[in-house]
Structure 1
Amino acid sequence: MTTSIIILTHNQLPLTYKCLQSIREHTQDYELIVIDNGSTDGTVDYLNAQPDVIVHVNHENLGFAKGCNQGIELAKGETILFLNNDTIVTEHWLENMLTVLYENERVGMVGPVTNYTSGHQQIPVTYSDLSGLDSFARRHCEENAGCYTDVRRLVGFCLLVKRSVLDEIGCFDEVFGLGNFEDDDLCLRALRSGYLLRVVYDSYIHHIGHATMNHLQGTNLGILLQQNRHRASEKWGKDIHQLIYKPLMKVSLCMITKDAEMMLCRSLESILDEVDEIIIVDLGSTDNTVEIAKNYTPHVFIFPDQKDEEAPYRYAFAQATEPYVIWQEQGQVFTSKFIKKLCSLKFTLEDDQDKVDIIDDTFLLRRAAGFKMPTRHKGERIH
C-alpha cells in the first residue's frame, strides 16, 4: 500500500534536506510530493534535482491548505500523509501509524508523538540535540509498542489520513490562508462524520515547530492565529475548540430478551463501546440469557411475559437514565456503518430533537419525549 507524503516548502532548504533524508532512511513504499510556496533560497533547484520527488512550484506563497490540496491532486496513494518540512522522522514511524490507521475501519486519521506541538501529541524527551534522537525514539517506541489513544484533535505537522476519508469529508479549507486552524477544521469534520482520531505512541517524530511561519516577512504568528480562530468561529458558529471538545450526547441501550444465550454476546458486543448504559428486560428465559446479560450490565430485570406486548418495553424505557434511548433486538448485530452514524449523531445532536432515525428502522429517542414502541417490534412478540 503506497503512502503519498505531501510536504510544503517555503525556503528553509537545510530543514527540507534533513527531512527528506530521514524519510529515505526510515520509510518504505511511499511517494514524495513537495509543493513549493515561492521559495527564493535555492529550494526549487534542489528539489528539481531529486529523482524521487514530484515537485509542484507556486510562484507565491498560497498557504498551507492550498498547497496540501494541490498535493492531494497529484497523489496516487490510498493513504495521504501531510508532513511539515521542519521534521525528522525515525525508525518505523510510518508503518506503525499505518497499522493503527487500518486496524479499524472507523479510524479516519492518526498522528505520531513528538517533542514539540500543542495538545495530546507532545511528550517529554531526554535528548538535547539530534545526536540522541534515534536512540531516544527507538527506546520510546519499544516501551510503547502497539499503544495508541483516541483523541479529538490531531495537529497537522504530521497527519496520516485515509484517502477515502478525504473523499467523504473534503480536503483542507482554503479559507484559512497561510495556515493555522485548517487542521482543527479537518479534525472536526472527521469527528462529526463518525470517524476516530488516534495518537500512535510507537511513532515518534522530531519537530522544530513554526520554522516557516516565524520567517515569513510581514506575518505575525499571533495575529494570524487570532484571525484564523475568528474565521473558524464564523464558519462553525461557535469557537471551534468548544465544538471539538464538546461533551458527547449520552445513550441508554434497551433490549428485551428471552432464551437468547446463542446470540446475546454478539449483539451486545456490536455496540457495547458506544453506549453509556445497557438495560436488559428478560421475559423469563430458561437458558443462560440472564447470566450472560449480567456480564455486560448490572441493569438486568426479570419481567414476567404477559399479553400486553408493550409492557416490557415501557418498563425498560422507564429504567433508562441517559438523555437518549436506542432499542436493540436480541439477535440484532449493528454494522460498522450503523456505529459510524451513531457516533456522528452523538457528536452533532442537539438536546432538543425528540426522535432521530439512524438506519434499518432504528432510531434514537429523547427520553424526555416519552416512550415510543420500536418499529421492528410492532405486531411482533419474542417467543
Structure 2
Amino acid sequence: MQADFLSDRLEKRQQSGLSRQLKVAGTLIDFCSNDYLGLARSTALKNAIRHLDDAHPAALTGATGSRLLAGHTQLADEVEQELAMFYHTESALVFNSGYDANIGLLASLPQRGDTLITDELIHASMIDGARLSYATRLRFRHNDLTDLEQQLQQPRTGQAFVAVESVYSMDGDLAPLTDIVKLCDQYHAFLLVDEAHATGVFGPQGEGLVVALGLQERVLARVHTFGKALGVHGAAVVGPALLSQYLINFARSFIYTTALPPHSLLAMQAAHRFVQQHREPQQLIQAHIRNFQALIQEYLPDTHWTDSQSPIQCLIIPGNETCRQAALTAQQAGFDIRAILSPTVPAGQERIRICLHAFNTPAELQALIHILQQASQFN
C-alpha cells in the first residue's frame, strides 16, 4: 500500500520552506546547543560517571521494566533523595525526559472541573500535557501579570493551576516568578514551573530560578531537566512528598514507560555532585552573558534583541527568508547559530537564536558580534 498522503504532506511542508531535516553537528563553533555549562563535553564529568559505574558493578545494563514493575531499584531511591536535597524540597520523582515529565504533570494534576492557566509561550511539552488534561484551559499573554490576574478572577468550581517556564526557550527571558507567586497565593492557585533552561544556570549551585528567588516553598511543582546545562539525560518533578505519590499513581508517562537504566541514574547523580563541587562553569556563563550584552550595546546598538538575562540571546530579524539568510552568513563564517522561523515563533518575530556556553572564549564572543553586524544588515 502506497502512503501517498505522506508525500503530499511533506511536499506542502517543503514548499512552505519549513521542512525539517536531521543534521549531524559539524565543526562550527557552538553557539547553538543547550550545553550551557559545557558538561556534555566535560572529561571530568565523564570520568566521574565512569567512577560511579565502577562502584556499582552489580547494576544491570537495562531497567528491565517500568518503575511499578521490575524497574524500581535502591539506586533510583538514592538518586531521588539526593535530587530532593539538591533542589531544596521534600521529594523528587525521576522521569525519562523533560517532555515526559511535563506530559505527566500537566495531564494528571489538573482534573475535570479544574482550571489550568498557562503562559501563551510555554514549551510544546507543556502544551501537549495541557491538551491531555480534562481541565478547563485558559491562556494569559506572555509574562503579563494583569492578564494573568484577569484569568485568575474567572469563576471556577475546582482547583486552579498556573503553568509557566522560569526561562523561556525561544526568548531567553525570565518569568516574573515573585509576582506570579503572589497572585497565585492571592487567588488560591497552585504554581507549576518548568525550570529546563534555568537548571544549572541560576541558583547558588544551579538549583534553578525558583530557589534563586527563595520561592521553593510556594511552588507546588518544578520540572528540572538534565539534558541541557547538566550534560546528561532525564528529568525530575520536584516538590512535596505528596506530589510524588500522586504522580506515581496518576502520571501515565511515568506509569507506562520502561524506567531509565542504571547508567542514566548514575550520570544524573554524578552531574549534580559535579556542579556542587565545581562552580567555575556557572560563574563563566554568567560572565559571558554580561560581556555579550555589553558587546551588543557597543557594536549593535540599533538592533532588536529579546529581553534576556539568560544564556539564550535572540536577535530579531523579521521574515523567514531574511532571517535564514542572516543565519547562513554566520554559519559560513564558522559559527553554529540557527534561525528560528514562524510558525515556531509568531510571524514578524523570527530570530537568530544564540546560546552562550562556559566553553566559549571572549575572542569567540567578539568575533560573533562582528559577524552579526554583517548579518543584521539583512534586517
User: Which fold has the larger relative contact order, with Cα–Cα distance below 8 Å and residues 6 or more apart in sequence?
Assistant: 2
Of Structure 1 and Structure 2, which has the larger fraction of its residues in strand?
A: 1
Q: What TM-score comes out, normalization by structure 1 length?
A: 0.26
Of Structure 1 and Structure 2, which has the larger fraction of its residues in helix?
A: 2
Q: What TM-score comes out, normalization by structure 2 length?
A: 0.26
